[in-house]
Each structure stands twice: as structure tokens, then as C-alpha cells.
């Protein structure tokens, strides 16, 4: 579940990957912000961090995350 981090600037939301998850961080600069995606080798989203204007992607990226309880 994503967590909003209270900072003076910029707005930040993080949903870290599960402990032991294997993947790589992909950093994508966007106008007014930054999108960081932690993806598995087959491209599945396992975690993310959003800053600034990229926080608008919270809902869409949350839907891509795997369920935490199975």
C-alpha cells in the first residue's frame, strides 16, 4: 500500500517492494517530478516512488502492484 510522506516539498508517495524482491529501479524524470519504478526482470511492477507532479500516477500504479497478502 502506498504511503504519503509529509515533506515541505515536493509531495512524495512511496510503495516499497516486498523484502527480498528481485528487480531493478527505473527512474523516469517527468515535468515537475520524478517516477521511480521497481520492476522484476519480466517488467512487472513490484514497488514505486513518486515525487512532485508524478504523484498523480498513484492510483494507476497501485493497481499494477501484486497483492501483499496471499
Question: pLDDT tens digits for 6-44?
Answer: 877 899 999 999 999 999 999 999 999 999 999 999 999
Give me the residue spans of the domains in the chain. Answer: 3-64
Tell me which DSSP letter residue 9 carries.
S
Question: pLDDT tens digits for 44-53?
Answer: 999 999 999 9
Nearest 10 degrees: CA dihedral of 2, 46, 68, 4?
-10
Q: How many residues does the chain have?
A: 70
d(CA 68, CA 52): 26
CATH of domain 3-64: 3.30.390.120
Amino acid at each position: 500500500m502506498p504511503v504519503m510522506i509529509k515533506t515541505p516539498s515536493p509531495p512524495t508517495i512511496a510503495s516499497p517492494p516486498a523484502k527480498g524482491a528481485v528487480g531493478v529501479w527505473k527512474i523516469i524524470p517527468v515535468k515537475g517530478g520524478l517516477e521511480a519504478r521497481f520492476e522484476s526482470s519480466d517488467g512487472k511492477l513490484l514497488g514505486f516512488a513518486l515525487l512532485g507532479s508524478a504523484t498523480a500516477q498513484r492510483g494507476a500504479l497501485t493497481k499494477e502492484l501484486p497483492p501483499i497478502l496471499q
